[in-house]
Amino acid sequence: MSTASPPPAKRKRVRSATQIEQKRLTDRLKHRENRHENKQRLERMESDIADIKDSLQNLALTLQSQFSALGAQAPSIPYPACHEALALKPTLPSSPGGMGYSSASTTSYHPEVHFGSREEAFALQSSWPQASWPPSPHHATSLWTRISVVESQLIDCPCGSRHLDRFDSVDQCNVTALYQRQIGFPTTQGTLGILPRNPSVPSMMLHGMDENIATFLITGFLRQYRHKSIEQLLSFYLLGYRYMRWQMSPCDETLQDVPLWQLPTETQISTPHSVVVDYLPWPRLRDHLCTSGDEDLGRSIFLYFESIEFIWPPERPIFAQDDGGQMVLSLEFELAIGNLENWRIGAPWSEAFPELMHLVRP
């Protein structure tokens, strides 16, 4: 009886001296940041517990004094005013021949991507109509008399929350907030500060979230996914950070750090869509996801993070040291991130969506 041959042994990965040194520096920085983060977390927990105790004591004293003044009467509950829900109704561009199409269209037509220049993008941003900021909140008609009616009308949503309208979705609320932030910029630019040009290396390594509001949002999002390599994580983090920095403070300074191919297309501006779509590198893919009405976007995004790859030669350094001795991304690595030809996407995304591969070619 013939015996099966043993499987071939896997080749052990051999790192160069430069890669070993980079790994040592990264591990040392990671351990130091973890210790600092744990210490800060414990201090915040102790402070929060003390504040909660004080707040509960003050609340108990306040309620006791109010009920003593009211005597035996129960507190009255005001009937809330009714407000119409904020609805974003964009005007969609037309397809060739004058035939319109909707955001739920399943046709293969893809609107032409308008790259333009930075000056055109900034002029388009300034030409958007003015609107009140912040937007009006949503209110229920009556919490007490219509709770059963509202409960029966709730719908399930991929965002994880049940609500009455798709514009109440967490993703759609984020898009609306960024839209309102953009059109409110001319009246608020003097009071807002600009975030640092680059986040710190520990934040990009997902070790910290409290550097600023952008790192808080991006780190929390990227922790949900697995990343194929450190190059892929750092490149996508920096790309998303600089785009969000421009969204929060739209000006010439922040616009210069956003690649032309990442600027919002006309379809993105006019079509409500999931906020994560704005951070994908390929403009034609973004337009397709905006107009196709894809209800399985969560699966598509998960496969996307499993399949995206940033091309970077292993012998080239990723990190450098600034004048203060701090570890930062090398200038060569930063410049390579802005080149769309360095981005690739393969399996399993290409196997699940072969009909979309023509949208992710430079």
pLDDT, tens digit (0-9, with 9 covering 90-100), for 194-229: 899 999 999 999 987 777 888 888 888 888 888 888
> Measured between alpha carbons, how far is 131 from 188 in angstroms, rounded to an integer?
12
Which pairs from 96-105 meet CB under 8 Å and 24+ separation?
101/291, 102/293, 103/271, 103/272, 103/273, 103/290, 103/291, 103/293, 104/293, 105/291, 105/292, 105/293
Helix, strand and coil content of the chain, in percent to the nearest 5, comes to 50, 5, 45
Picking from 355, 354, 329, the residue whose alpha carbon sits closest to that of residue 239 is 329
Rounded Cα distance between 228 and 49, Å, is: 39
Distance between CA atoms of residues 136 and 258, nearest Å: 31
What is the distance between the alpha carbons of residues 284 and 110, in angstroms, rounded to a whole number? 8
DSSP alpha helix (H) spans, the chain: 17-70, 118-126, 147-153, 170-183, 185-188, 201-204, 213-222, 230-248, 252-255, 266-270, 283-291, 297-307, 331-337, 349-352
Stretches where the chain sits below pLDDT 50 are 72, 74-115, 125, 127-150, 160, 167, 170, 175, 178-179, 181-191
In 249-330, alpha helices (H): 252-255, 266-270, 283-291, 297-307
| The pLDDT of residue 100 | 33
pLDDT at 139: 39
Query: What angle do the packed helices 170-183 and 230-248 form, to 10 degrees?
Result: 50
Report the pLDDT value the prediction gives residue 5, as an integer from 0 to 100. Answer: 66
Query: Which residue ranges make up each domain of the chain?
Result: 115-360
**What pLDDT was estimated at residue 186?**
44
Q: What is the pLDDT of residue 26?
A: 86
User: What is the structure's pLDDT at 172?
Assistant: 52
State the chain's mean pLDDT as an integer.
71
